[in-house]
Amino acid sequence: MAVERQRVAEQDKIKRRHNFDPVESNLTEEQVKLEASRCLNCKNPKCVQGCPVNIQIPQFIHELKEGNLDKAGEIIRETSMLPSVCGRVCPQERQCEGNCILGIKGEPVSIGALERYVGDNTKADMPEIKPSGKKVAVIGSGCAGITAAADLRKAGHEVVVFEALHALGGVLRYGIPPFRLPRTVLDREITNLKTMGVEFKTNVVVGKSITIKQLKEDGFDAIFICSGAGLPKMLHVPGENLNGVFSANEFLTRVNLMHAGQKDSPTPLKVGKKVAVFGGGNVAMDAARTAVRVGFEEVYIIYRRTEKELPARLEEIRHAKEEGIIFKFLYAPKEILGEDGYVKAVELEVMELGEPDESGRRRPVATGKTEVMELDTVIVALGTGPNPIIQKSAEAEGLEIITDKRGYITVDGETRCTNIPTVYAGGDVAPVGESNAINAMGAGKKAAKAINELLK
């Protein structure tokens, strides 16, 4: 009889509404062997092709099947220093698992769960590092920065990571809630880098505290900009400046990084009764699920298309529904209504789907009908754009970094090099393809490879 796909245990859907503990646990040792036995060990593994960092997936799964856990960890870490992170937050259904042959007629191998198990239960071996005499600056400590720093340090370079915030991890820390990515996991991965000799400097805003030109003058042979995209995109409707309107970026940062959801927080968050989250991606799901946990009584996700077009991971949508979040489809905000400076309600336009747009999804079209929905908080989760502070400061000093019309840094798709030969960029500040953790890691690896070749 064929072995069924093994599933991780999940925290009770009622209890988890009131805590930030991880929703999912790891597979058991027995489940790991059963799931590993499902892998066909394809001669032409499409799962590897679907992984932006090309983890040798059949190889590490084979070692799990044979009971060689440490060897499985070695194989993964040859290309990825963040298995515990990627196993939790990567969109496997569109990447490795989405390319699994078993998924054609049944369910793919649970690659993400196996990777997470390996990451959580093995230690990274510290490589022998031979000093190269070269020095590299990495701006940002998110997925791209951590990945590049690891590969650059392995090559023997002195690596200094500059982080604008007081805590390390970038969007992994301030954007992704701990019920999806436990902070102990993130801290462990960063500690591994420190053990390797990577230096981290926090509270340094490159473009203000120090500039690209100054970094070059300080002896850095190459610079990798991976400062993320922290500039929120807003609704641009009347009433958006009312108290009670947040960008998802601000809301998640205040809760995840500043603990604003706690009663004794020095920067507390005013928690109302009803909140509407506008958007349909993973960030919208994170914001809505976080709103449940900080005490909002009714949480809505309002999306201008149908459920079929939601860009969020299916797992995230399922978890949101289980936690009592209410979805309202085919609605778009027309005006946020207020009273005494605070949000009171939102006027919604009723939408219908028209012809497909450039993304291939059917375009939402206003029907002319409207509805008013009473609430006290609005969270806008429509994505983010790049903060231009680094580019503007560099331009002021005669180092123009070319950007596209949206403000993203323009890079070579393979090397991630900018128009300045020793300056590279990647991750959300210079996206190539879908914006997510594993693609940012892929950008970090490509930039590190190109920088290594440059410094040789």
Q: For residue 224, tell me if it sits in a domain.
A: yes
In terms of residue numbers, what domain contains 401? 135-230+387-455
Q: What is the CATH number of the domain that holds 158?
A: 3.50.50.60
Could you tell me if 100 and 149 lie in one domain?
A: no
Could you tell me if 165 and 261 lie in one domain?
A: no
- From 356, 384, 412, give the residue that closes a domain: 384
pLDDT digits (tens, 9 = 90+) for 76-114: 999 998 999 999 999 999 999 999 999 999 999 999 999
Q: What pTM, to 2 d.p., does this model score?
A: 0.94
Structure tokens at 102: 């078993």
Q: For residue 130, tell me if it sits in a domain.
A: no
Burial environment of residue 309 by CB neighbours within 10 A (0 to 12, 13 to 18, 19 or more): middle
- From 88, 121, 154, give the residue that closes a domain: 121
Confidence of residue 39 (pLDDT cuts 50, 70, 90): very high
pLDDT digits (tens, 9 = 90+) for 262-284: 878 888 898 999 999 999 999 99
Could you tell me if 203 and 289 lie in one domain?
A: no
Structure tokens at 383: 């994505």
Q: For residue 129, tell me if it sits in a domain.
A: no
pLDDT at 357: 85
Q: For residue 157, tell me if it sits in a domain.
A: yes
Could you tell me if 280 and 371 lie in one domain?
A: yes
pLDDT digits (tens, 9 = 90+) for 185-197: 999 989 999 999 9
Mean pLDDT on 229-252: 95
Could you tell me if 86 and 52 lie in one domain?
A: yes
Q: For residue 6, tell me if it sits in a domain.
A: no
Please give the share of the chain, as a percent, with pLDDT higher than 90.
Answer: 89
Q: For residue 91, tell me if it sits in a domain.
A: yes
Q: What is the CATH number of the domain that holds 89?
A: 1.10.1060.10
Could you tell me if 402 and 303 lie in one domain?
A: no
Taking 80 as the threshold, does the pLDDT of residue 434 lie above it? no
pLDDT digits (tens, 9 = 90+) for 302-315: 999 999 999 999 99
Could you tell me if 222 and 240 lie in one domain?
A: no
Mean pLDDT on 198-215: 97
pLDDT at 127: 86
Q: For residue 315, tell me if it sits in a domain.
A: yes
pLDDT at 265: 85
- From 121, 152, 171, give the residue that closes a domain: 121
Please give the share of the chain, as a percent, with pLDDT higher than 70.
Answer: 100
Q: What is the Cα–Cα distance from 26 to 333, expressed in whole angstroms?
A: 40
pLDDT at 359: 77
When divided into structural domains, the chain yields a total of 3
Q: Which residues contact 425 (CB under 8 A, 6 or more apart)?
A: 224, 225, 226, 401, 409, 411, 416, 418, 447
Could you tell me if 292 and 406 lie in one domain?
A: no
User: Is 300 in contact with 276 (CB distance < 8 Å)?
Assistant: yes
Could you tell me if 425 and 439 lie in one domain?
A: yes
Could you tell me if 237 and 222 lie in one domain?
A: no
3-state secondary structure of 48: helix
Could you tell me if 236 and 369 lie in one domain?
A: yes
Could you tell me if 162 and 99 lie in one domain?
A: no
Confidence of residue 244 (pLDDT cuts 50, 70, 90): very high
Mean pLDDT on 415-434: 93
The string over 186-202, giving b where at least 16 C-beta atoms fall within 10 Å of a residue's C-beta and e elsewhere, is bebbbebbeebebebee
Q: For residue 8, tell me if it sits in a domain.
A: no
